[in-house]
Homo-oligomer: A and B are copies of this chain.
């Protein structure tokens, strides 16, 4: 997914192409990491000071539906990031401090031989959490 691709999805599906949505796409594209709703609002309010949570959450849900952002959750908060890796299935190594990720191309589901009986699989989650080198350095400094 690139910047233009996301904007195209919005237009193509008949969604209104507002300045706020354009900016929202840009924020995700620029940051290219997991952001909480609060963080998204903070970035957006740089350009739209009065922007409300309603608009943020509504558009985050929309973006998730139409495949502009992918989501996960940690520390009790939902997080959103620009869809990465194109259409190919992937997983993430995630820094829980800054939300930056690395893409993992292996999927553990391939190693699960056969389908379990009497159980309909609807999804799965594989994520590795940790601290990236930048944040590790920051934490070290903050302890001085």
Distance A94 CA – B116 CA, assembled complex (angstroms): 12
Distance A134 CA – B92 CA, assembled complex (angstroms): 33
Distance A125 CA – B133 CA, assembled complex (angstroms): 21
Assess whether A122 is in contact with B126, with CB atoms less than 8 Å apart: no
Q: Is A141 an interface residue (CB 8 A)?
A: no
Assess whether A133 is in contact with B119, with CB atoms less than 8 Å apart: yes
Q: Is A127 an interface residue (CB 8 A)?
A: yes
Q: Is A73 an interface residue (CB 8 A)?
A: yes
Interchain residue pairs A-B with the least CB separation, the first 5: A108-B108, A118-B133, A121-B130, A124-B128, A120-B131
A residues 86-126 touching B (CB-CB < 8 Å): 93, 95-96, 102, 104, 106, 108-109, 111-112, 116, 118-126
Number of copies: 2
Assess whether A119 is in contact with B106, with CB atoms less than 8 Å apart: no
Q: How far is the CB of A98 from chain B (nearest CB, A)?
A: 12
Residues of B within 8 A of A132 (CB): 118-119
Residues of B within 8 A of A125 (CB): 125-127, 129
Q: Is A11 an interface residue (CB 8 A)?
A: no
Among residues of B, the one whose C-beta sits closest to the C-beta of A109 is B128
Assess whether B122 is in contact with A129, with CB atoms less than 8 Å apart: yes
Among residues of B, the one whose C-beta sits closest to the C-beta of A117 is B133
